[in-house]
Amino acid sequence: MAADLNAYLNEQFGISPQDIRTYSPLTLAYIGDAIFDVIIRSILVNKGNTAVNKLHTRASSIVKAKTQAEFVKVLKDEFTEEESDYYRRGRNSKPHTKAKNASTIEYLEATGFEAVMGFLYLTGNMDRACELVKKGIEKLGLDILE
Residues tagged active-site: 33
CA distance 22 to 115: 13
Amino acid of residue 101? N
CA distance 28 to 89: 10
Q: What are phi and psi for residue 102, nearest 5 degrees?
A: -145, 155
